[in-house]
Amino acid sequence: MSGYAQYKNRVKISERYGAREWVVERVALLLLMPLGVWAAFSAFTLTGADYDTATAWFASPFNAVLLGVTAVVFLGYISLAWKVIIEDYIHRPGNKALLIGLSNLIFLVLAATSIFFITRLALGSAPLPAGFGA
């Protein structure tokens, strides 16, 4: 058991480790601001473009890498946000750990899937294997 609770200005000081997550959230948000503007501008310029123009855009290493970084940073940021929501509103320790693990797994799968499909498009492959989709 840790020592006595510590107070500063009659407010209990947190005993948990949250400063690192707070800094990671802020850095991710700072990265997402220019990446979001770039993604919105790119989506705007690709609106109405034909298939060849879109595949040429994805074939550019610069665009593919920036899109991959945007996807990973965005999903990491959302994963941290869901962790905070779960920690704030779920009070049973077992349920809390299960939901945090499940949400982390979901966002990890989404990030891996995003990178997989961005890589496929960048290399000129069809986005889905034959037999899937319409």
Residue 117 is part of a domain; what is its CATH number? Answer: 1.20.1300.10
Q: What is the pLDDT of residues 1-19, one digit of tens each?
A: 455 667 777 776 666 666 7
Q: Is 5 domain-assigned?
A: no
Structural domains counted in the chain: 1
8 domain-assigned: no
Q: What does the pLDDT look like over 64-89, one tens digit per residue?
A: 999 999 999 999 999 999 999 998 89
* Residue 86: domain span: 18-122
Give the pTM.
0.79
Nearest CA to 47 among 62, 39, 117, 61?
39
The answer to whether 29 touches 70, Cβ cutoff 8 Å, is no
